[in-house]
Chains A and B, each alone.
Chain A
């Protein structure tokens, strides 16, 4: 009996050695195939492409940030004629939960995705790790709203939403001017240190001041991208303080419905919010993410994808404002907005052109100078003149 066990042990250990050795050889062949196909350089058959997406909130959102991205993905799927199983969307992935982010990206890789989009800022570092992993050099990683890339298979993409905010500011300013009340409010998700939010407020204020120079903007920070309760409370406080037009950089439509309930007006964000507040909402800066997603996936199919950063605006149709609500807007709004829009598209008007003063009166941009893209995406950590916390 004892002998038998020994023989068995010997056989088993031999078997293990053989298996291990074959594993090694397998790994070897794998590596050779991987190195030949660098991401984006080889055409991929349209039937074989697989797109993965990471969303921060639910794709069932009906108006907010994820709604805009999900709509863009759907548009891309439709215009390229991809099948349902070729697009995998992971939603409700908290971008501050690194293990969850890792697991979600790993799932997308395991499912065979060739190109993965991560739509929220804090996915950035995790995505960078995956992109730099030698095993995944054949996968395209594309990150929204951040600033990192690796010149191989990892880029970032965002848009000049401030152009749309400037236009919405013109509409808001004209409304306040019509009411003869130079006080406007803004429900902001994040505080002044967050360039994406602060730059948006500044652009909105510049749009307002372009038509109503003495107007002031009061800001309330909720501390969260999506919190209907806090957004309503902040909007109500702004209205209580006398603001007559309320802008927003947060995800729910509650700011706009609260404005309407109080008989004041507002500019939404991400999608047209007029159906939700037909008597209050003027117009909203919106995203057409389908423009980027279609171009990026098409490039991956053609094998012409480049790891360069994508930062486009009104010229490509990536950002826009929703149709002006004529029942609410001041007379002449549409004409004024259209005129400014044409100037932005032609390059005649650049929103952040000096002289620009911050709200302490310090000159931050000399006359005639323009902010660089890097300054706009990462360096706008000051409110301009006329903008203050409430």
Chain B
């Protein structure tokens, strides 16, 4: 029993950065823009979050800074694709390269000025330590399973839930989905297509950045790892968006399932069955492929990619 709970906890912790990144990318894609710069924006967030935490020792400022710098990366992408109508795929990939490069360069400058490995203070780490809620955290099994995560895990779930409400329960969200499906109809209906895209791309990018800050502050235990912070999670998030069929509510469970695949390799004892690590690493992508096949067979509108996603909108084009 304890082993199963440890496994679930590990899955949730490993899935949380994916949850942020997936939610952010869903908001972006719902407005009709495919942003392949998730990995880059996560790197920007990882650096900004770390540096702010390191300098100010304030976790709230760190999260805000991560959001801000990643949103800045997204702004570049939004300007190039929405205003300048540049190719979305290429721009997104460029943003990944740019984000990783910029964060590494700034990271090296930070190491140089610190004269060694920069680490956030133990007080800051304590503020991101597993929660200890009176009574609730102490309940046997349930306490560990539900009430002993670090605050960013709860923040991630809240952000995903709020995004789902925003997209499916508000008029603005409806407008955004209309822009993503068919921008010219939305435009004809009087929706400001450009504004809807800008807002969603920026907020989505910022949320990806918080996922990056999670990697540098929680996953890497608050020590700046010069080259291994985000570790490809941004790319897995792009697959996860498809897996959860562009729905932030489903992203909560979906991220934890992908997190569980990450953790399987550590929690299936080798004495029970010894499976090559590569097999576990392959599982998320196999599952994504299966989901893609199933949704394309069912041809459900609700569960497929927004029709206008990846295509730039030219108002004058007929």
Partner among B228, B263, B271 whose Cβ is within 8 Å of the Cβ of A227: B228
The docked-state distance in angstroms from the alpha carbon of A233 to that of B14 is 8
Q: Is B142 engaged at the interface, CB distance under 8 Å to the other chain?
A: no
Partner among A223, A226, A237 whose Cβ is within 8 Å of the Cβ of B228: A226
Are the C-beta atoms of A228 and B108 separated by less than 8 Å? Answer: no
Q: Is B102 engaged at the interface, CB distance under 8 Å to the other chain?
A: no
Are the C-beta atoms of A229 and B117 separated by less than 8 Å? Answer: no
The docked-state distance in angstroms from the alpha carbon of A57 to that of B226 is 9
Partner among A230, A233, A254 whose Cβ is within 8 Å of the Cβ of B221: A254
The docked-state distance in angstroms from the alpha carbon of A146 to that of B284 is 36
Q: Which one of A59-67, A112-120, A126-134, A161-169 is at the interface?
A: A59-67
Question: Contacts A233-B10, A233-B14, A252-B220; is A220 near B227 (CB within 8 Å)?
Answer: no
Are the C-beta atoms of A223 and B277 separated by less than 8 Å? Answer: yes
Are the C-beta atoms of B220 and A237 separated by less than 8 Å? Answer: no
Are the C-beta atoms of A57 and B227 separated by less than 8 Å? Answer: yes
Are the C-beta atoms of B219 and A229 separated by less than 8 Å? Answer: yes
Q: Which residues of A contact B129 (CB under 8 A)?
A: 261
Chain B, residues 98-115, CB within 8 Å of chain A (1/0): the string is 000000000110011000
Chain A, residues 193-216, CB within 8 Å of chain B (1/0): the string is 000000000000000000000000
CB distance from A323 to the nearest CB of B (A): 17
The docked-state distance in angstroms from the alpha carbon of A230 to that of B215 is 12
Are the C-beta atoms of B223 and A233 separated by less than 8 Å? Answer: no
Q: Output the nearest chain A residue to B263 by Cβ-Cβ distance.
A: A233
Are the C-beta atoms of A92 and B266 separated by less than 8 Å? Answer: no
Q: Is B141 engaged at the interface, CB distance under 8 Å to the other chain?
A: no
Q: Output the nearest chain B residue to A222 by Cβ-Cβ distance.
A: B277
Are the C-beta atoms of B231 and A61 separated by less than 8 Å? Answer: no
Question: Contacts A92-B227, A276-B119, A389-B274; is A237 near B219 (CB within 8 Å)?
Answer: no
What is the number of contacts between chain A and chain B, taking CB atoms within 8 Å?
88
Q: Output the nearest chain B residue to A251 by Cβ-Cβ distance.
A: B228
Q: Output the nearest chain A residue to B232 by Cβ-Cβ distance.
A: A229
Question: Contacts A62-B117, A221-B277; is A253 near B10 (CB within 8 Å)?
Answer: no
Count how many chain A residues have C-beta atoms less than 8 Å from C-beta atoms of the other chain. Answer: 31
The number of chain B residues touching the other chain, given as a range, is 35 or more
Q: Which residues of B contact A101 (CB under 8 A)?
A: none
Q: Is A304 engaged at the interface, CB distance under 8 Å to the other chain?
A: no
Q: Which residues of A contact B270 (CB under 8 A)?
A: 388-390
Q: Which residues of B contact A389 (CB under 8 A)?
A: 270-271, 274
The docked-state distance in angstroms from the alpha carbon of A340 to that of B266 is 35
Chain A, residues 3-35, CB within 8 Å of chain B (1/0): the string is 000000000000000000000000000000000
Q: Is B229 engaged at the interface, CB distance under 8 Å to the other chain?
A: yes
Partner among B117, B229, B266 whose Cβ is within 8 Å of the Cβ of A233: B266
Q: Which of A45-69 contact B (CB under 8 A)?
A: 57-58, 60-63
Chain B, residues 232-272, CB within 8 Å of chain A (1/0): the string is 01000000000000000000000000000011001101110
Q: Which of B207-233 contact A (CB under 8 A)?
A: 215, 219-229, 231, 233
Q: Is B300 engaged at the interface, CB distance under 8 Å to the other chain?
A: no
Q: Is B127 engaged at the interface, CB distance under 8 Å to the other chain?
A: no
Partner among B108, B221, B262, B266 whose Cβ is within 8 Å of the Cβ of A220: B266
Q: Is A257 engaged at the interface, CB distance under 8 Å to the other chain?
A: yes
Q: Which residues of A contact B262 (CB under 8 A)?
A: 233
A-B contact list, 30 entries, CB within 8 Å: A58-B108, A58-B226, A60-B107, A60-B108, A60-B112, A60-B226, A62-B117, A63-B117, A92-B227, A226-B228, A227-B228, A227-B231, A228-B219, A228-B228, A229-B231, A233-B10, A234-B266, A237-B6, A237-B10, A237-B267, A240-B10, A240-B267, A252-B220, A252-B228, A254-B223, A261-B221, A276-B117, A276-B223, A389-B270, A389-B274
Chain A residues in the interface with B (C-beta under 8 A): 57-58, 60-63, 92, 220-221, 223, 226-230, 232-234, 236-237, 240, 252-254, 257-258, 261, 276, 388-390
Listed from nearest, the 6 A-B pairs whose CB atoms lie closest are: A62-B117, A389-B270, A237-B266, A257-B221, A240-B6, A228-B225
